[in-house]
Structure 1
Amino acid sequence: MKTTCLINNFNYKDYVCEAIDSALAQTHPFDEIIIVDDTSTDGSNLILQEQYAQNPHVKIIIHPHNQGQLAAVTTGFLQSTGDIIFFLDADDFYHPQYLEIALNIYRENPNCGFLYCQMGIFSKGKENYQAPTEVQISQYQNYLNDRGYSIILAMEMQRFVGSPSSGNSMQRKYLSDMLPCTCIGNYRIWADTYFVIASSILGAHKFLINLPLVAYRVHDKNIFYSNSITRDRFKVYQDQLATVQFITFLSQKMNYNRLLLARNAPYEFKTIDSPNWDLFFDYLKIMLRTPASVPFTPNGRLSKLHGFAVMLKHILSFQKSSKR
């Protein structure tokens, strides 16, 4: 199972080496590390060439002009050969055993198409990152959650089943179906939103490892964090339109009938091993607003009331087992 780490950088010279070094320091090494610099103006490209150009496991690509995060990741992916693709923003870094644990999960769960982990959010120095303990690392299976499928949830509710960019990895086949994207629109820097929602729509079976195996740095130059605070209502509206655009694009690519798909909301809900009540009510809303009853068997249909009962039984069963 060949692995690729894709690192995108734009003006993060103070952090990018730490990110690359964390990828190089994995207890199970990456087969390839591809860095795409999106025409930085802070001297990042010179640092990259000086420190990593001679490393046989590292490939450096410099964009001729600035194109945005999604385009940078696309460039790296098109040059990659890995079966599993891992993402890393230039201001974040990996726990040394991240790849080792992730590969174990992919091998132990052949149906896993997309794996995401909890993020260890920190600011200032690297020492503020609270890494998982050795005991937690050795018992990582206890922190693994099967998140099932989220096709309907993504299409109807635009739900984000994943982590910020650096906490995600996925099988190559899903990225091959979504890249290159001809409907980038406002998603120049919102690559994680595109990859997370698109992978759901394309049918990736998702798993969550609930350990902070990736460190997410918050700082004054953090593009995502800054924009999430300063975006005005007009920009929010434009981003929502862009989301609708690519969801429509992918649903047409998959030849989905959204009405027929939404009727199966109760059965998608049942694919989630540890649902919460927020998810229950999301799926209930989807089911109730469809004008037809819920299909149950090839020989007949059952009512929305039965769909409600299916979901209620599933979540109550989980709630009961979690209290044992």
Structure 2
Amino acid sequence: MNVSIIIPVYNVEKYIASTLDSLIAQTYPIDEILVIDDCGDDCSVEVVKEYSKQHSNIRIIQLPYNQGVSAARNKGLQESRNEWVLLMDADDTIHPNLVKYQVSQLMQHENTQPKPVCVHPAYIQIDSEGKVLLGSEYYGQQLSFNETFGTLLVRNYIITASGLLVNRKEALNVGGYNTNLSLSEDYEFLLRLSRQGTFVYLNKAYVNYRRHLKNTSSSLKKMEEAGKAVLDIYSIDEIKEAIFCRSYSEQKNLMDFVTLLYQYQQYDEGFNYLAYVTAGEFEESKLFYQALYYIEKHQEENAVRYLDRLINLNENHGAALNNRGVCYAKAGNIEAAQELFEQALEQFPGYMDATDNLSVLADGKKEYCFTKRELRKNLLRYS
């Protein structure tokens, strides 16, 4: 099975050599590496040209003007000559055996119906200098076709396009990437692709996902707004059907549906649904979203009652610690607020809301930030 690799390139001269080295080092033969030059103003393409002199499978495709990463990926999908294409960002790297194991996973699922349309791995995060961020591994899960779309709606567990092996025909059939989106374009593409076939999961952290201040996902508020814009493509009824058709318990599906209603800012309806969440395993989540309801209604004295109950149940609930800290800070109890922000950071290194809130305590230049969702087990790092 021949594999193509697509890499959009725009002002990444610091990282592109490391990325290319990791692709050239693949133990599975790579038929072609398509570098899509999106008209940056640094020396990225000059670096690639030097590599292409030594490696005949590297081909540079020049866009006529800067069009953005989505247009660059689409150009690569159109120009690639193979059925399976590995997507990459030009600042990430991959393990030498990634493609080898992905092809093996595809072979193991050759009789799966509907047919696989992509293989996605687990990830580990690295900093701008390539140093592994301890405890930053991010693992996904193997889901059935009927569960994938709804689960992605709840939370995107494929955190980067890098290392995503996709079926070229199916990617083009869904229209490729939406060039009107500048954020969450990967997420929106995956939602459409998930309705075409099975997503296969490789449980190996074989993608080094580089986190630095130039990441387009480094602004949490922008990402929150972009995520909502993606969800707005689908109706509430469509989302409800996708959530409740999954094979999880009705209580889990119900809790997940509440989180999406909150993301749609339908707080009253979501709060009413919480009354039907009765399973003990979701007590913490229920308390968190009950508190968030009152935060959104600017009734923080009511929110505090739920946050205190939640922290009493789980003293390491990061989002509850942060939100209770904000309530303390706004009430003038700075010492208690600082203690909770620091406790949240101890449990969740890289937690941006807590980090920002500590800076607000120090200089008061910004507003305090409530966390609107429960935290992932391992957080994405933003610097």
Q: TM-score, normalised by structure 1?
A: 0.67
What corresponds to 1:104 in structure 2?
A: 104
Matched-pair contact (CA < 8 Å) for 2:122–2:140: no
Matched-pair contact (CA < 8 Å) for 1:148–1:205: yes
- TM alignment of 1:147-296, pairs within 5 A: 147-149=143-145, 150=147, 152-153=149-150, 157=153, 159-180=155-176, 184-185=179-180, 187-200=181-194, 202-224=195-217, 226=218, 228-229=219-220, 231=222, 236-237=224-225, 240-245=228-233, 263=241, 266=244, 268-270=245-247, 281-282=255-256
Runs of 5+ unmatched residues, structure 1? 132-142, 249-257, 287-324
Q: List per-residue Cα deviations over 1:223-279 (Å, max 9, x = no partner).
A: 33x2x3363xxx84465335534x58xxxxxxxxx968965755x423x8xx99856
Task: Choose 1 or 2 for highest CA Rg.
Answer: 2
Relative distance call for 1:285 and 1:37 in structure 2 (3 A) is closer
* Structure 1 Cα separation of the partners of residues 166 and 18 of structure 2: 23
Relative distance call for 1:169 and 1:283 in structure 2 (3 A) is farther
Matched-pair contact (CA < 8 Å) for 2:184–2:227: no
- TM alignment of 1:121-140, pairs within 5 A: 121-128=125-132
- TM alignment of 1:49-88, pairs within 5 A: 49-53=49-53, 55-88=55-88
Relative distance call for 1:57 and 1:44 in structure 2 (3 A) is same
* Percent identity of equivalent pairs: 21
User: Per residue, is there more strand in 1 or in 2?
Assistant: 1
What letter is aligned with 1:14?
Answer: K
Q: Which runs of 4+ in 1 moved over 6 A?
A: 283-286
Runs of 5+ unmatched residues, structure 2? 261-383
Alpha-carbon offset, residue 50 of structure 1: 2.7
* Structure 2 Cα separation of the partners of residues 264 and 76 of structure 1: 31
Which structure has the higher relative contact order (CA within 8 Å, separation 6+)?
A: 1
Matched-pair contact (CA < 8 Å) for 2:37–2:61: yes
Task: Count the aligned residue pairs.
Answer: 254
What letter is aligned with 1:188?
Answer: S
SS at match of 1:81: coil
SS at match of 2:49: helix
Shifted more, 204-213 versus 8-17: the winner is 204-213
* Structure 2 Cα separation of the partners of residues 130 and 264 of structure 1: 35
Alpha-carbon offset, residue 3 of structure 1: 1.0
What letter is aligned with 2:246?
Answer: F
SS at match of 2:96: coil
Relative distance call for 1:43 and 1:108 in structure 2 (3 A) is same
Relative distance call for 1:41 and 1:276 in structure 2 (3 A) is farther
Matched-pair contact (CA < 8 Å) for 2:124–2:209: yes
Alpha-carbon offset, residue 146 of structure 1: 2.5
Alpha-carbon offset, residue 48 of structure 1: 1.6
Relative distance call for 1:21 and 1:277 in structure 2 (3 A) is farther
Matched-pair contact (CA < 8 Å) for 2:150–2:239: no
Shifted more, 111-120 versus 98-107: the winner is 111-120
* Structure 2 Cα separation of the partners of residues 96 and 281 of structure 1: 40
Relative distance call for 1:12 and 1:148 in structure 2 (3 A) is same
- TM alignment of 1:293-304, pairs within 5 A: none
* Structure 2 Cα separation of the partners of residues 103 and 196 of structure 1: 20
* Structure 2 Cα separation of the partners of residues 280 and 81 of structure 1: 44
SS at match of 1:105: helix
* Structure 2 Cα separation of the partners of residues 177 and 239 of structure 1: 23
Matched-pair contact (CA < 8 Å) for 1:102–1:115: yes
Q: List per-residue Cα deviations over 1:120-145 (Å, max 9, x = no partner).
A: 101143353789xxxxxxxxxxx995
Alpha-carbon offset, residue 98 of structure 1: 0.4
Matched-pair contact (CA < 8 Å) for 2:122–2:206: yes
* Structure 2 Cα separation of the partners of residues 26 and 146 of structure 1: 24
What corresponds to 1:37 in structure 2?
A: 37
Relative distance call for 1:9 and 1:25 in structure 2 (3 A) is same
Q: TM-score, normalised by structure 2?
A: 0.57
SS at match of 1:60: strand
Matched-pair contact (CA < 8 Å) for 1:161–1:196: no
What letter is aligned with 2:204?
Answer: L
* Structure 2 Cα separation of the partners of residues 84 and 145 of structure 1: 21
Matched-pair contact (CA < 8 Å) for 2:121–2:207: yes
Relative distance call for 1:278 and 1:94 in structure 2 (3 A) is farther
* Structure 1 Cα separation of the partners of residues 246 and 45 of structure 2: 46
* Structure 1 Cα separation of the partners of residues 251 and 82 of structure 2: 37
